Amino acid sequence: MSKGLRLTFLIHVVVCVIAGLFLFLIPGRFLLFVGWAPIDPIASRLLGAVMLALAWGSFRGWRAREWAEVEILVELEVIFTVLACVGLLRHLLFGWWPWMPWLIFALFALFAVAWIVFLVQGKRRTD
């Protein structure tokens, strides 16, 4: 498994743990801080739980040594980040939003590109 993929997994663990804990424990204060309103505490806590679960998956991916161990996880990350980008962009383009939601979109987009690149590289190596 490439060093780039391992580094991406590690960065993803850190980002997901931080965001996941904030969303799970203090969703209202966190989302107000990042400029996201209105706030649904139930959906926010569910998203926090999802992000913590993704962090665990990425931690397991970071520890893995072979492509076969992480292929399904990388596919899941591609699907999640691309759909998150589509959903966020739908709102960002049709309303006025402060800079923080755009930054969150950019972060999802960067992860989406990285996961797609690693998925394509992994598939090429196994073919």
Q: Are 23 and 48 in contact (CB under 8 A)?
A: yes
Q: Are 89 and 25 in contact (CB under 8 A)?
A: no
Angle at 54 between CA 78 and CA 75, to 5 degrees: 25
**Which domain does 67 fall in, by range?**
3-126
Helix, strand, coil share of the chain (percent; to 5): 85, 0, 15
Please write the tens of the pLDDT for every residue from 50-93.
999 999 999 999 999 999 999 999 999 999 999 999 999 998 99
What local confidence, expressed as pLDDT, does residue 42 receive? Answer: 92
pLDDT band at 100 (very low <50, low <70, confident <90, very high): confident
Question: Which of 27, 108, 126 minimizes the C-alpha distance to 70?
Answer: 126
Number of domains in the chain: 1
Average pLDDT, the chain: 92
User: What is the reported pTM?
Assistant: 0.89
